[in-house]
Amino acid sequence: MLVIAVIKLKINMRNYIIALMTLGMFAQVKAQTLTEIIPYSNDSRVITTGVPFLLIASDARAAGMGDMGVATSADAYSQQWNPAKYGFSEAKSGLGISYTPYLSKLVNDIFLGNITYFNRLSEGSAFGISLKYFSLGEIEIVQDEFSEALIEKPNELTIDASYALRLADQFSLAVGMRYLRSDLKIQAVDDNASAASTFGVDIAGYYQGEEDAYNSFNGRWRGGFAIQNLGPKIKYDDAGRENFLPTMLRLGGGFDFIFDDYNRLNVTAEVAKLMVPTPPILGVEIEFEDDNGSGSFEEDEDTEIDRTEDVIISGKSQDVSFISGVFQSFGDAPGGFSEEIKEFTWALGAEYQYQDSFALRAGYFNESEEKGARKFFALGAGFKYTTINIDLSYLFSASKIQSPLENTLRFSLTFNFGDGEYNEY
């Protein structure tokens, strides 16, 4: 009986050891199943939107001062920057026409055109309307050697209307509505292609102080703000991706040095920020068996179990409404506060005017290297003959990335009707 008991004990001990070894093997296998998130190598910190042509300065005066206009003095093109300035126009009404070549070094049929009309209805109110048209030139499509070439002309346009109300002697407020249409799809390639459209709203304010006397000159302060293109996302087809509009916040201030009745120097500073969600840092999540025991995924040596694309490593999802996107844009940068600050562009500009008949302009625009790297100097000039203003501007890139407007001459023509009917200076 003792022998039998010893044999049974040995068998039980052997089974126990085998069981422990089996559990250990399973535990080891389980420990070797790991998950790793690998960032994409093509990560970009640049914020992209639909209809980006809305961010191009369409008039030569604003372009000559570094693409600014939210706090400069009123002109016919205030509709594009701050329609509240129409409440301070000295002209009863005006008509502005501008032309901006685009990618002029490569092609000659891509351009941005703009026509604007405003009317100051009374001392306290004004309205403006405008049409902006962006042509991407002609695209020739040849299906085969026996077919005739098909010509497509993709384009984008906006139609604007605004109303400005003078709430005080030194301050006016304006609201604007914008219809946007983007026809970029090629009909010859996709029979179901159709233009995308949406709308946007602008809210703007402008302050212009009284002329004050200083030691050797008189002066006047100016200030302005604008929230532009606030509206639903634009979508080209039912299955396509929705794109945010370039909703923009602009803040600016300036001072007029009035030396005498003939000479005046206007200096202005402006900051702007896209109120659009920052793209998060994305990667691919891989579940794998760590066959070589390195602790990280190696494609040639480890066994992949599962893969999940577009996993957010840092930042927030961009899949939100346009209203949520506006508020999210001030605190969603993966790099924290330091990256949020980089999303602000800034510009400095100056304009010298002689007897309201001649003007010289200069400006500088700066954008962070991580957020688009637009950096350029601008020069401009303006001439006035009776009721006609002619403005020109020229851009010099200061960035490693070449600007599509580099070495481009922009042209604007303005007709002022009832010039001097209102005295604001």
In this predicted model, what pLDDT tens digit does every residue of 333-361 receive, in sequence order? 998 999 999 999 999 999 999 988 899 99
**Which residue from 366, 362, 206 is spatially nearest to 272, judged by alpha carbons?**
366
Residue 9: predicted pLDDT: 39
Give me the percent of the chain exceeding a pLDDT of 90. Answer: 55
Residue 146: predicted pLDDT: 67
Q: Which amino acid is at 352?
A: Y
pLDDT tens digits, residue range 121-175?
Answer: 998 899 999 999 999 888 777 766 666 777 778 899 999 999 999 999 999 999 9
Whether residue 246 is predicted with pLDDT greater than 80 in this model: the reply is yes
User: What whole-number distance in Å separates Cα of residue 209 and Cα of residue 220?
Assistant: 6
Bridge partners of 111, per DSSP, are 101, 135
- Which residue is it, tokens 């605004």? 162
Least confident of 31-45, 129-143, 251-265: 31-45
Q: How many residues does the chain have?
A: 425
The pTM of this model reads 0.85
Residue 22: predicted pLDDT: 52
H/E/C letters for each residue in 216-285?
CCEEEEEEEEEEEEECCCECCCCCCCCECCCCEEEEEEEEEEECCCCEEEEEEEEEEEECCCCCCEEEEE
**Which residue from 377, 380, 376 is spatially nearest to 401, judged by alpha carbons?**
376
Q: Which one is predicted more confidently, 196 or 175?
A: 175
pLDDT tens digits, residue range 102-111?
Answer: 887 778 889 9
Question: What value does the mean pLDDT take over residues 269-286?
Answer: 93
**Which residue from 420, 418, 355, 409 is spatially nearest to 384, judged by alpha carbons?**
355
Residue 402: predicted pLDDT: 82
